[in-house]
Structure formats: structure tokens, C-alpha cells
Structure 1
């Protein structure tokens, strides 16, 4: 995918474009360069040189903050490993508490309050026991986050509440904390087998952050990731629904075309940065040429369409 260096368009009012930096490159300098090439000023941090943000030593974290400041780039969210696909519900809660404690200090320095989390994959427990443990653990973590001035953003991905709107809403209700909200990843419906637009419609009032991803199913049951708008994740419908709702916040690209941490795929050396920029341009075009006109038309038609 060749990268077009020319900016396509500004985001809609109230929307900010960003991207998960390590989808472009391992090193922060190249991650920031990709974001700057797009003309964007915001990044979502997950790892630097293969190291999770919470695992960076003090010197490496200091260098990271210096590079961010020098480039005038804001951090909109930090993607943690808390309760994610690598940490089953039977694992030690202390791992997540410790990571959150470190990230609380680092988010204060970075100027963001958002931390991406999931809700623990099962590990042989009964459904009721799995749910009970998830509710208890997330309540503990949300209280710690609230005390630190953070907001945990639960992603519709791995875990007890990952693929069900009913479970997401139950989790929010059981925890009952302003420090637990939702991150909606448009592209996760294809690999997990649910309708993204329908799920968004059910939880949209609780969504604080959005990942833009698109995919098509394959005969083997896997997902093949595409440019936004070229797959079956209903990217246009989801972005349109957000704008029609008056939603404001960040749309952050997570291409998954060259890096997929959950399955070990990493082909970023084969032009990951260029592909990242091309993905951002494709999002800008989709919004300018398709999403915004659809929003305008639906408003002119009295909200229909």
C-alpha cells in the first residue's frame, strides 16, 4: 500500500484522529514520524521497541516523554495488558494491580487518563464463577483507577464482556464506577462473529474512545484485515452512527495489517510505516467522501437513512 504524503481532510468537528503507534513501527521515533506524516498530533501508546509501556525502565520512559514533547504529540490513550487475552481470570490479580499502579504515574506525566483494558478470558471455570470473578476484579481495578484519576476503557475484545452488549452493560452496572467506560473497536466484530453496528447501537452512550479497524472473514475462520471501508466491519455505518449521535472524541486507527500482537504476526519491516500512513489516508477519504455526506443527507431527510 503506497503512502500518499498529502493530507486529505480535517476530521469532523469534535473528532480527533490518532493511531496506535506500534502498528507503524517498533521504535517511538518512527511511530511519531508516521503520525506526523499524516498531519496528526495524537498517538495511542501500546509498546516501544517491543516493550509494554509499563515495563519501560525509567530512562526509556524519560526518553519517550522527551520525544513526545519535542514533536508536540499528545497521548490520547494507553493500551495496557490488564485483563487482556494473555491474562486469564485465574491468574494473579496482582499483575494487573501492579501494572495499573505504574501506569497511573505514567499517565499523569503523559497527560492522559484513559487506559485500555479487557475483561479476562476464561480458564475452565463455570460461566457463573467466571462472571463473579470478573465483576469482583474489575470493581477492584476501577476503584484504583478512580483514586488515581484514571478511566479504564473496556474494549469489545477478549474476556467475559468482550462480545456481548448485554454483558458490557452488566459489567458497567455491577462495577458502578465513573472510572469504567467502553472502548469500541469497529473491526472486532468480524473475528469474534458479531454485528459491530448492532453492538455499537446498544452501548453507544457508554463509549469514550474508538478504534478504527476493518476485516473480512476467511474460509478458515480467521480475519483478513483491510483498509477501512473495504471490509465487512461496517466502518461507515459505525462512524456515521457516532456522528449522528453527536459523539465527540478520538478515532484511533489500529490497522492490524502488519502487526497483530495476539497471534504473533509482525511484518512491519515490510513497509509498516508506509502502510500505517496509507491507512490513515484511507480513513480520511472514507470520512470526507462517504461518512460526512451520508450524515448530512440523513439530517436533511429528517434523521432517516
Structure 2
């Protein structure tokens, strides 16, 4: 397929397998030259030992696989607004050095789940923390990408816009995940429109509801209007990476962090489906 000539595709590597070797193999089979990193051998990138990280960086360089984004734990579903902010500052400082070694500038963040605060105080604390994080990121040459997931600005486009506008930093932009709305109770397509000017990175996933359960599907087989979202982004001039996050097996927020033995095969199947959907969406009006 000639898709790679017009589009940049990547996958969150640990959804193919725990080991870096499995993550590389999945991308090799797809013919992709970019990867998004989250965990290697079950360990978040920031928590790898220096020796382990150096090996990861050297291996990726050797095989010619470029890191397009690092998915941090900063402000994520496991770090509520009442948690220790020092953990996020330490992680960002550590990732700044590692991102430099990987020659990437994007770091995925969220905006802190609530923990007993009223909405006004919660939002004020989130904006304060993200402003401080963005200042550090800008000094380090990084861009924080806020994902529409867990946190104060995760499910409401107007809160996400307020976060961007009040932090007012080139080091804070948006990562839009097309498939998060089913789990978090909103329509992705409706959320995307007001946020288009600030979207610099995209995750592709799809899902449907089976009773109270969220069932993740191949892109285009769920209810997330993936094709419509892709067309909206293309019509708006989006030229960034399309990163797949299948969630067919690996869902860290649910404690499911290990792909099955056929993880690489399923990852490649998903990647082919994403290529077909994205390439097939170009030039079609919303």
C-alpha cells in the first residue's frame, strides 16, 4: 500500500506486545517507520532504568523506527488532583532528557481525575498545574498533548478550550482520541469540531456498547464515527500522525497490560484496517 507516502501511521507499541522486540516486529510487518511509546516490558518509559532506556533508544535507532510521541502518566487516570504534584514534575524532567535522546517533542498528558473537590476548585487546580508543567515543557523544547480522557478537561470541549486558552502556551496542545467517548459518555464527533485548531495528534480507536460493557472493535465497526472524524480532521488540514490504540487486549486503565501471544498479528490486522479507513476518507466532504 502506498498509504505511507501520504500519511504517517504509528501504533502504541505495547498494544502489540510487552517486549520491544514484539513492538518493533509489529511495525516492521506494517511497514511503518514511526511508533508511539508507553510501556516496555510492562514498565512506563519514565520508570525504565537508565541502562534499559539506553538500550531501547539504541535499538530503535538501529532499526530506523522513530518515536512520534511518548505517553506519560502525568495527570492520568491514576493521579487524581489531590495527588502529589511532585510525581508529575519529576516525570516530566526525566522524560525531557529521554525525549531528547529519542528526538521527539510530544508528551501525552491528561488533566487529573477529581477527588472530592467542587468543579470550580478542581478546574482551578488543574489549570494551575498544567500551566506549571507547560512552562517546564516549553523550556525543554517539548509539547504536552492533552488527551480527551480522564480529567477535568477530558470530556468537555469547552473545558478543553478553556484549559488551552488560560494556560496560553505553545507547549500545550491537544491529542484527540476518536474512540474515548464510548467509555467516558460523550460523542467524539461532536467534541472534535470546537477543538480542531488545537489538535496536533490523533489516536484512532473504535468501540460500541454491549449493555454496560464497552467493547472495542476494529476501526469503522463501532459507533464512534471514526470515518466522519477522520474526514473532519483532513478537511481542517490535519497532517499529523494517525496513531492506533486498539484496546482489543491491552487497557492499562483497567489493569489489562499484557497482549496475548497473537498480539502482533491482531495489531497488524488493526493497522491494516486503520490504513484503509484513513486513506479511504481523504477528499470526501464531511
Q: Give the TM-score taking structure 2 as reference length.
A: 0.97
Aligned residue among 214, 235, 239 for 2:230: 239
Superposed CA deviations along residues 98-129 of structure 1, whole A, max 9, x for unmatched, are: 00000000000000000000000000111111
Question: What secondary structure does 1:265 align onto?
Answer: coil
Contact 1:29–1:67 under 8 Å retained in 2: no
Matches of 2:100 and 2:164, distance apart in 1? 24
In the comparison of the two structures, how many residue pairs are matched? 286
Q: Give the TM-score taking structure 1 as reference length.
A: 0.91
Matches of 1:287 and 1:149, distance apart in 2? 30
Is the deviation greater in 123-132 or in 177-186? 123-132
Question: What secondary structure does 2:91 align onto?
Answer: helix
Aligned: 1:81 with 2:81 = no
User: How far is 1:246 from its partner?
Assistant: 1.5
Moved over 3 A (4+): none
Give ranges in structure 2 of 5+ residues lacking alignment.
Answer: none
User: How far is 1:174 from its partner?
Assistant: 1.1
Aligned: 1:280 with 2:274 = no
Superposed CA deviations along residues 261-282 of structure 1, whole A, max 9, x for unmatched, are: 0001245124111110000011
Partner of 2:147: 155
| Closer, same or farther: CA 12–204 of 1 in aligned 2, 3 Å | farther
Aligned residue among 123, 127, 133 for 1:135: 127
Partner of 1:178: 170
Contact 1:121–1:158 under 8 Å retained in 2: yes
User: How far is 1:11 from its partner?
Assistant: 4.2
Aligned residue among 90, 103, 118 for 1:98: 90
List aligned pairs for 1:253-292, cutoff 5 A. 253-266=244-257, 268-288=259-279, 290-292=280-282
Contact 1:211–1:252 under 8 Å retained in 2: yes
Give ranges in structure 1 of 5+ residues lacking alignment.
Answer: 1-7, 299-304
Matches of 2:68 and 2:54, distance apart in 1? 18
Partner of 2:43: 51
| Closer, same or farther: CA 189–143 of 1 in aligned 2, 3 Å | same
